[in-house]
Every structure is written in structure tokens, then in C-alpha cells.
A and B are shown apart, each in its own frame.
Chain A
Amino acid sequence: MKKTVDVSIPLGPMHPCWKEPVRLKCETAGERVLHTEVELGYMKKGIERIMRGRPWQEVMFLAERVCGICSVVHNMVFIEAMELISDIAVPPRAAYLRVVANELDRVASHILANFSYCYTIEHETLAMYLLNTRERVLDNLERLTGSRINTAYMIPGGVRFDLLPEDAATMLADLAKVEEELKRYVQIFESGPLIGLRSRGIGYMSREDAIRAHTVGPTARASGVEDCDLRLRHPTYRALGFEQVTRTEGDNFARVMLRFQEVFQSIDLIRKCVDTLPAGHIRGGGLCRAGEVSYSGEAPRGELTYTIKTDDFGRVLDIAIRTPSIMNIEACAHYMVVNATSIADVTSTFISSDPCIACNER
């Protein structure tokens, strides 16, 4: 299938806008992008191959090192899958604390994604504001779990650390500050005329394309796909009265704004969790047993699926991880970026789908 193109422009693997190495080869006619090819392999660590045959105690730490940005949710989905296999019940207090840790991680991840987008469209002031706000969120995550990035907070049958009342008060005060700051930044983002020019109507993806390409997470929700948030099916989130945020524009602006809206929603969820935190233990007991399960959870970027098979001693015999970035990057490269009017829009569109190469390649 030979094609004649004007220029083939490679972007990456080292690119000032990209946090991680990936290579996009854009075939262009003039500046219009006709076709893109993604070259990966820069982050392929073979983590599924390492996991095979290891006890769950080791796989737990490997699972959160699939991706450093959304490490809490990798931990959570793996542990909940193990609990599902072995019928381990979680104390209610631990279930609520898991939601707190997960939502803090989601807030940090969404703010980082929006930072990258603002940095890519060269609005450095807003980007730096956002990065500073993220530090405040990470402080609270550290106070709760003891670590900023790789927390290993959840274990089968509970969580490691309790939320002390004084920490809870500090967390709520900090989150109020974060919310106040973010309201200002959202207003800057919404009303900025140049931001509008770089974002509105660019990288459009229709609802049909989004469903057919099976995009997940904020990328799908910004294109108007309903009922694609797996938190709607999670028992703890249902008890908290979670509702999905959906936007219909389907462009870069919608994706970034949707993440901002989800941050506010997450802050509300944390507040509700801390206010109604049930008393009791944070760790139950349990024994990991043999079984096979496929379990999905909602990562900051979308649906994360772990398919695990274990033996009687809790060793992982076989594992397959399907991360949200696999679908989102593919849809971005083959639907959104095509027909972009300039190469500058390619980078910003690619970043707006919040690509995580470490997730994608594992």
C-alpha cells in the first residue's frame, strides 16, 4: 500500500511538549495531516511478562508501576480483582478511604493533563498555576498514604493507613483552597480568546467515531458518550451518589473542560466521603485463593481492565492488563489528528487526549 505524500513529518521521540517518548509520523499534504502512524516501543518494559508466576504480594507493587501518574487506580483495580477472586470483604471505612485516595489521585492526574495541554498551547502562566495547585493535592495524598507517587495504599481486605481527624480537617481546608483556585483558572481558560482559537473546534471526534473506536474516559465523555464511567457501577461510588459528567462538543476544549468539571466533582466526592466516613476497622482479614476474573475500574483516563488467573497460593499465573490509553491514543492518532489543519494542532490534540505511553505499552 504505497502512498504518495508531500512530506512525512516525524514528531518525537524527544519532543518538548511530550512527557514521555513516543513517535508520531504524520504524512501531510501542505500542512494538512492525511495519515498518522504511531511508533511505540520506547517504554515497553514487558511488565505482564514479569508479573507472570509471581505471588500477589509482588504483583501488587508491579501493578502500580505500570503507570506512575495513575498508580493508585492500578493498585485499586488489581486489589479489587484479587478480592473478587478470593471473596474477601472490605470494611466500610476502608472502602471509603479507597475512594478518597483514588479521587485525590484523579484530581492530581487531571490537573497534570490540563497542565500539559496549557503548556502545549504555550499558555505557560496557566500551566504553572495548575502545576502549583497539583502540589497541594499531592501533599494531601502524601499525608494520607505516606508517598507522593507510588503509594501501595490498598491491600486485600482494606487499606494500610487510617485518616486521622486532624489530617482530614487539613485535607478539607486544602481542597477548599484548591477548588477556589481552580475556579479562577477555569474562568481564565473558558474566557481566554487565544485559548479558544487554539482549542475550540480542533481535534473534533464525533460520538459515532468515539463509540466505534471504543474510546474511554474523559475523551469519550467529551464526545457525548453516555454511561461510559465505570464509577457508576462501583458500589462505594453508587452509595455516594455519583453521576457522570458529559459534554457534547467533542473537541480539545471540551476534553480539557470536562477534566476541570471532573476535578470539581472529585473534590465533592472526597468531601462527602470524609464527612460520612464510617467508624470501624480499616483492615479485615482474608486469604488469596485460586480463580480467574476480569475486572474493570475507572482510571483517570478511562476504563482499566485486569484479567487475572491465580493459583491456590495466590500466585498470578496469567495476567492481561488493558489500559485506557491503548484505546485513546489509537483513536486520537487515527480519528482526531487526521485532517488537522496544521502540525501545531497535532501536538495539542494529541496531548488533549491525555496520552500515557507507559500505560499504553506496559
Chain B
Amino acid sequence: MTGRCLYEKDLRPLKYNILTSTKHDATVRAIANRLGVSDAKLRRLLIQRLDMSLLENIETRWEMGLRYADDGDPLAKELGCELFSRFIPLLDQERMKEIYEETRALAQEIPFEGAIVRGKALIREAILS
């Protein structure tokens, strides 16, 4: 939203300011570690896709996501289905569901760990695209 509308301002520096706080920075690093992408790339994605209130709240969301997301389904928990579609909405829920179904089909053919690695790669690809 740069320069197109009268009242819209470029919010990227302001959003970046939010992420520079100690706790937020640690959370971003933890998320990047889990997803296997670099910190800087994840920061750019977060700034693009999340609104400012979500960014302020990212630490709590991440904690709550780790505690409550996908209870009772080991495959979904490993992939972080709800974690990355509901708690930290980097992906929309339809795309996440597709990846989940794909990985579940894979898990019947190859060992569980191998399927998880493939599923995680799919999620990373979908998030980065």
C-alpha cells in the first residue's frame, strides 16, 4: 500500500520496529528455526502478511500455538497445521489442508519421518511462494 491511496502510509518500517523488541526477536528466531528459513526472510514475510496487532502479539500466539495447536494428531502437530494457519496465519487454511492430505497419503507409503520431512518442505515452499 505505498503511495496509491491518500491515507495509506508505508507501514513496513513501523512493523519492523515492532519486531526489534527482545521477546519478539526471540520468537521470530524460534519460528524461523522451526520452519527452516532464514530470520530475515521470515521477517519480510511476517511484515507482508500479518497486521500490526498480530505482530505485537506474535510472542503470545506462538506460545499458545505450541501449547494448544493440533492436540491429538501427531502428524498435524509435527507439521504445525493449525500453528501456521490459525495461530500464526502465514498460510491459508485450504492450502494447509491440501498439504496435510498429501503428507498423510505419503505416510502410508514411506516411513513417518520421511513423510514429515517432505511435508515440512511443502509447507516451506508454500510459505515462501
Main secondary structure of the interface of B (DSSP, over half): helix
Inter-chain contact A213/B64, CB cutoff 8 Å? yes
Q: Mark A37-67, 1 if CB is under 8 A from B, else 0.
A: 1111100101010000000000000000000
Quick one: which of B49-90 are within 8 Å of A by CB? 49, 51-54, 56-57, 59-61, 63-64, 68, 87
Bound: A333/B56 CA distance, A: 13
Inter-chain contact A214/B63, CB cutoff 8 Å? yes
Q: Which of A40, A307, A318 contacts B53 (CB 8 A)?
A: A40
Inter-chain contact B23/A214, CB cutoff 8 Å? no
For residue B22, which residues in chain A have a CB less than 8 angstroms away from its CB?
A: 48, 307, 318-320
Inter-chain contact A326/B57, CB cutoff 8 Å? yes
Quick one: which of B1-49 are within 8 Å of A by CB? 7, 11, 14, 17-18, 21-23, 49
Inter-chain contact B52/A327, CB cutoff 8 Å? no
- Nearest neighbor of B53 in chain A, beta-carbon distance: A38
Main secondary structure of the interface of A (DSSP, over half): mixed
- Nearest neighbor of B20 in chain A, beta-carbon distance: A49
Inter-chain contact A330/B14, CB cutoff 8 Å? no
Inter-chain contact B56/A361, CB cutoff 8 Å? yes
In the complex, whether A211 has a CB less than 8 A from a CB of chain B is yes
Q: Which of A44, A320, A322 contacts B14 (CB 8 A)?
A: A44
In the complex, whether B92 has a CB less than 8 A from a CB of chain A is yes
Inter-chain contact A41/B52, CB cutoff 8 Å? yes
- Count A/B pairs, Cβ under 8 Å: 63
Inter-chain contact A330/B56, CB cutoff 8 Å? yes
CB distance from A157 to the nearest CB of B (A): 27
In the complex, whether A175 has a CB less than 8 A from a CB of chain B is no
Bound: A39/B51 CA distance, A: 7
Bound: A37/B11 CA distance, A: 13
For residue B21, which residues in chain A have a CB less than 8 angstroms away from its CB?
A: 48, 320
Bound: A318/B60 CA distance, A: 19
Bound: A320/B18 CA distance, A: 12
Q: Which of B49, B56, B64 contacts A326 (CB 8 A)?
A: B56
Which among B22, B52, B54 has the highest number of chain A CB atoms within 10 Å?
B52
In the complex, whether A329 has a CB less than 8 A from a CB of chain B is yes
In the complex, whether A194 has a CB less than 8 A from a CB of chain B is no
For residue B92, which residues in chain A have a CB less than 8 angstroms away from its CB?
A: 1
In the complex, whether A102 has a CB less than 8 A from a CB of chain B is no
Inter-chain contact B23/A307, CB cutoff 8 Å? yes
For residue A360, which residues in chain B have a CB less than 8 angstroms away from its CB?
A: 53, 56
Bound: A333/B11 CA distance, A: 19
For residue B7, which residues in chain A have a CB less than 8 angstroms away from its CB?
A: 10
For residue B68, which residues in chain A have a CB less than 8 angstroms away from its CB?
A: 211-212
The 9 A-B pairs with the shortest beta carbon distances in the complex, nearest first, are A38-B53, A41-B14, A330-B57, A40-B52, A320-B23, A37-B51, A320-B22, A330-B53, A214-B64
10 A–B contacts from the bound complex (CB under 8 Å): A1-B92, A38-B51, A38-B54, A40-B18, A41-B17, A44-B18, A307-B22, A320-B21, A320-B23, A330-B54
